[in-house]
Amino acid sequence: MDLELILSMANATLRLATPLLLAALAGLYSERSGIFDIGLEGKMLAAAFAAAATAAVTGSAWLGLFAGVAVSIMTTMVQGFASITLKGNQMIAGVAVTMLAAGLTTFLGQTWFGQGGRTPQLSGDARFERIILPYANELSGVPIVGPIYAWVLSGHYILVYIAFLAVPATAFVLYRTRFGLRLRAVGENPKAVDTAGISVTFQRYQAIFITGILAGLSGAYFSIAQGAGFGNEMTAGKGYVALAALIFSKWRPVPVMFTCLLFGFLDALQIRMQSTELPLIGEVPVQAIQALPYVLTVVLLAGFIGRAVGPKAGGVPYVKER
């Protein structure tokens, strides 16, 4: 393979891994606190719609982003109210929120914009622009490092950089702060946290608040950065891929990044591989590559390679009374 192909694949990998990474990190905060979240897809979808709709009306991508995040947080709070305060079934809450988002976005899109559920095409300031890193052009001539800097690392939307900065930030929060310590504890043994004099409920709401923010960024990325407007079901199941990535990386931030890069690469690969033949292997069906993240996750869950054991208190509402 030639250099240009490799560079463009690397670039595409970063681009495609970004929404997965943001969403998987979103899920990490929630699940580490003991709230299983199969509603990531719904929050992303709601955010994607809210961001595009606001950007279309106001002409500002930043206002769009803000609206997307706000709506994602609201959606998360509905789910949280059911799961934490009402101690309801977390799985059902996730399914309901996803379905609600899928229905409402298309419905409101049609009602407000009359374009079959799509929002108007975004242009100019209503959509984020790619950021050219400093001296990208000048350095592109430098062997090896230059092209990587100019063509792989430079020229992405701001959300891409935010996503990758969120990884060390999350690792820091999780392992180096008081908040992170309590977060990890409350997902493993909420009673230990309770007897230490910390409110389990408040800790969990704080966690899912961050989940809302990150899922909102992920959703907004689809409609006001990567895409120029919202379309039906635009997140296309990426929320579940992110969930798979989270499980595959055993709920740890840095492995989450590598898993999302792997899944992003697989995505880039299947786009490029549509009807191309590989040497030796022959033609690999793209569907096999599409299914790979899910298959890998199931295999891991089954304990055939390593073992993915989630936070111990995950999925179980905390009830203090005996």
Partner 1 sequence: MAGSPDTHSQRPDTPAAATGASGGPWAIELEKISKSFGPVRANKDIDLNVRRGSIHGIVGENGAGKSTLMSILYGFYTADSGTIKVNGKAHTITDSRHALALGIGMVHQHFMLVDNMTVLDNVVLGAERSALLSRTLDRARAELIKLGKEYSLEVDPDALIENISVGQQQRVEILKALFRGADTLILDEPTGVLTPAEADHLFRVLETLRTEGKTVILITHKLREIMAITDSVSVMRAGEMVKTLPTSETDPEQLAELMVGRRVLLRVEKQPPNVGDVVLEVANLSVTDRQGVARVKNVSLSVRSGEIVGIAGVSGNGQSELLEAISGIIDPSSGTIAIGGVPLDIRGDDGAARARKAGLAHVPEDRHRMGLVTNFEEWENSILGYETYPAYGKGMMLDIAAARAEAQKRIEMFDIRPADIGLQTANFSGGNQQKIVLAREMDRDLKVLIVGQPTRGVDIGAIEFIHKQIIAMRDAGKAVLLVSVELDEIRSLSDRILVMFDGEIVGEADPETASESALGMMMAGIGQTETAQ
Partner 2 sequence: MSARHPLPRWMDIVLLPAINLIMAFTISGLVVLMIGESPLEAISIILYGAFGYGDGFGYTLYYATNFVFTGLAFAIAAHAGLFNIGGNGQAYVAGLGVIIVALALDQTHWLLAMPIAIVAAGIFGGAWALIPGYLQAKRGSHVVITTIMFNFIAAALMVYMLNRVLKPASSQAPQSETIDVAGRVPQLREFIPFFGYSPVNLTIVLAIAALVAAYFLIWRTKLGYQLRTLGQNSVASRYAGMSNSKLIMIAMTISGACAGMVAVNEVMGVQNRLVLDFVADAGFVGIAVALIGRNHPIGIGLAAVLFGALYQGGQELQFSMPTVTVEMIEVIQALIILFTGAMEGLFRPALERSYALLSFEQNAEATRRATVEPES
Contact positions vs partner 1 (CB under 8 A): 176-182, 184-185, 188-189, 191-198, 312, 321-322
> Given the complex with partner 2, which of 159 and 262 has the nearer CB atom?
262
Q: Which does 182 bind (CB under 5 to 8 A by kind): partner 2, partner 1, none?
A: partner 1
Q: Which does 9 bind (CB under 5 to 8 A by kind): partner 1, partner 2, none?
A: none
107-124: buried (b, 16+ CB within 10 Å) or exposed (e) per residue? eebeeebeeebbbbebee
Task: Select from 244, 245, 260, 261 the one that contacts partner 2 (CB under 8 A).
Answer: 244
Residue whose entry in the numeric block shows the structure tokens 């043994």: 189
Q: Which does 205 bind (CB under 5 to 8 A by kind): partner 2, partner 1, none?
A: none
Rule CB under 8 A: is residue 211 a binding residue for partner 2?
Answer: no
> Given the complex with partner 2, which of 99 and 145 has the nearer CB atom?
99
Q: Compute the least distance from the CB of residue 43 to partner 2, in Å.
A: 13
String of contacts with partner 2 for each residue 52-81, x by CB under 8 A: --------------------------xx-x
> Given the complex with partner 2, which of 228 and 244 has the nearer CB atom?
244
User: Rounded CA gap, 196 and 156, in Å?
Assistant: 45
Q: Which does 288 bind (CB under 5 to 8 A by kind): partner 1, partner 2, none?
A: partner 2
Q: What is the largest CA-CA distance in the chain?
A: 69
Residues whose CB falls within 8 Å of the CB of residue 68, separated by 6 or more in sequence, listed in order: 47, 48, 50, 51, 54, 216, 217, 219, 220, 223, 224
**Number of other CB atoms surrounding residue 178 within 10 Å:** 9
> Given the complex with partner 1, which of 111 and 178 has the nearer CB atom?
178
Q: Which does 231 bind (CB under 5 to 8 A by kind): partner 2, partner 1, none?
A: none
Task: Select from 302, 306, 312, 316 the one that contacts partner 2 (CB under 8 A).
Answer: 302
275-302: buried (b, 16+ CB within 10 Å) or exposed (e) per residue? eeeeeeeeeeebeebeebbbebbeebee
Backbone angles phi, psi at 272, to 5 degrees: -70, -30
Q: Compute the radius of gyration of the chain from its Cα atoms.
A: 20
String of contacts with partner 2 for each residue 89-128, x by CB under 8 A: xxxxx-xxxxxx-xxx-xx--xx-----x-----------
Rule CB under 8 A: is residue 306 a binding residue for partner 2?
Answer: no
Q: Compute the least distance from the CB of residue 26 to partner 1, in Å.
A: 22
Backbone angles phi, psi at 159, to 5 degrees: -65, -25
Task: Select from 87, 130, 191, 272 the one that contacts partner 2 (CB under 8 A).
Answer: 87
63 closest CA partner among 49, 52, 75:
52
In degrees, to the nearest 5, what angle opens at C-alpha 169 toward C-alphas 166 and 175? 135
Which of the residues 249 through 288 are near partner 2 (CB under 8 A)? 285, 287-288
Q: Compute the least distance from the CB of residue 181 to partner 1, in Å.
A: 6
User: Rounded CA gap, 153 and 179, in Å?
Assistant: 32
Q: Which does 83 bind (CB under 5 to 8 A by kind): partner 2, partner 1, none?
A: partner 2
Q: Please report, for residues 25, 171, 230, 273, the alpha-carbon distance to residue 254 in angstroms, rounded to integers and kept in the order given.
A: 10, 7, 30, 28
Contact criterion met (CB below 8 Å) for 130 and 155: yes
> Given the complex with partner 1, which of 118 and 184 has the nearer CB atom?
184
Q: Which does 197 bind (CB under 5 to 8 A by kind): partner 1, partner 2, none?
A: partner 1
